[in-house]
């Protein structure tokens, strides 16, 4: 049995479709492989592109469409090959053609050089040189996608990056300045959970501007609270772990924002 049901995949059309700027899709661990067998089928888990396409079709069938889709890392299958990102770009293209802005983060199965070659816009727009950091402006909140990928210094073509995550000091310094100037709530995201990102967690203790933290990596759908501000229980930080698209918990989450807050289902 395939780990996802493809029978409900829906072909979507763009005509007469409204886009809701306060609605966004958050997903993670899409693990797209650009390697193919001689018969033209994807290697490794050939059903994974089918699972991702099913979810992309479900997004395209929404009324109204979300304005944004955020992917929280592990875009590539295993080693972060250039062909993985080229194929991922093909699979993401229908979303962008429908007017949905797609923002990608990096996880432990990604590689920056290959990613930046396939998606050069990220190297140009990142506020932190050498890292894939993105800022998405929503009507009622800003969303900041951080880069928690830890690359080994001498990666070989078929060598995986480090599984655990880190946030570079340069990102922390930039984030401090960004939060100090922000007059709106900020939601942070990264591929790895907070318990691996110690310098970020320490910084967030004194950053009430940050309203929530969202991550992937664990392939589990889970909403909880991180107690990183013990002296201010009213400011405990909500955290959300996102499912993957093909293994473990499967699916994506829908976030709707308003002046009163954000709701994720």
User: Residue 109: exposed, middle, or buried by beta-carbon count in 10 A (0-12, 13-18, 19+)?
Assistant: buried
pLDDT at 233: 58
Count of CB atoms within 10 A of residue 185's CB? 19
Q: What's the CA gap between 122 and 125, in Å, rounded?
A: 5
List Cβ neighbours of 31 (8 Å cut-off, separation of 6 or more). Answer: 45, 48, 74, 75, 76, 77, 78, 109, 244, 245, 246, 247
* Apex 43 CA angle, 38 and 44, nearest 5: 155
Mean pLDDT, residues 86-112: 97
Ranges 14-28, 88-102, 126-140, 174-188: which has the least confidence: 14-28
Structure tokens at 66: 């979300």
Question: Which tens digits make up the pLDDT trace of 12-69?
Answer: 444 445 999 999 999 999 999 988 877 777 776 766 788 899 999 999 999 999 999 9
Residue-level pLDDT at 39: 75
pTM equals: 0.90
Q: Which helix (H) or strand (E) holds 56?
A: helix 47-60
In this prediction, residue 11 carries a pLDDT of 39
Q: What pLDDT sits at residue 208? A: 80
Distance in angstroms (rounded) separating the CA atoms of residues 67 and 202: 32
pLDDT in tens, 216-255: 999 999 987 776 665 565 567 889 999 999 889 999 999 9
Q: Is 244 helix (H, G, I), strand (E, B) or coil?
A: strand
Q: How far is Cα 209 from Cα 68, in angstroms, rounded to an integer?
A: 22
Mean pLDDT, rounded, for 79-106: 96
**Per-residue pLDDT for 160 more than 80?**
yes
């Amino acid at each position: 049995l395939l780990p996802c049901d493809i029978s409900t995949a829906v072909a979507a059309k763009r005509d007469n479709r409204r886009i809701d700027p306060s609605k966004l899709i958050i997903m993670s661990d899409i693990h797209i492989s650009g390697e193919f067998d001689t018969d033209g089928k994807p290697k490794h888990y050939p059903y994974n592109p089918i699972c991702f396409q099913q979810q992309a079709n479900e997004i395209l069938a929404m009324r109204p469409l979300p304005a944004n889709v955020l992917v929280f890392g592990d875009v590539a299958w295993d080693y972060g090959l250039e062909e993985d990102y080229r194929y991922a770009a093909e699979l993401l293209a229908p979303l962008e053609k429908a007017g949905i802005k797609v923002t990608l983060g990096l996880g432990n199965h990604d590689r920056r050089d290959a990613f930046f070659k396939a998606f050069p816009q990220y190297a140009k727009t990142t506020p932190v040189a050498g890292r894939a950091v993105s800022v998405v402006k929503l009507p009622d909140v800003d969303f900041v996608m951080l880069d928690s990928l830890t690359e080994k210094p001498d990666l070989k073509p078929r060598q995986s990056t480090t599984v655990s995550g880190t946030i570079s000091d340069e990102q922390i310094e930039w984030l401090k300045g960004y939060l100090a100037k922000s007059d709106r709530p900020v939601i942070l995201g990264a591929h790895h959970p907070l318990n691996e990102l110690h310098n970020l967690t320490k910084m967030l203790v004194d950053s009430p501007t940050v309203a929530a933290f969202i991550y992937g990596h664990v392939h589990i759908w889970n909403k909880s609270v991180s107690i990183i501000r013990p002296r201010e229980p009213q400011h405990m930080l909500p955290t959300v772990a996102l499912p993957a698209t093909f293994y473990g918990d499967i699916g994506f989450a829908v976030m709707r924002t308003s002046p009163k807050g954000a709701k994720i289902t």
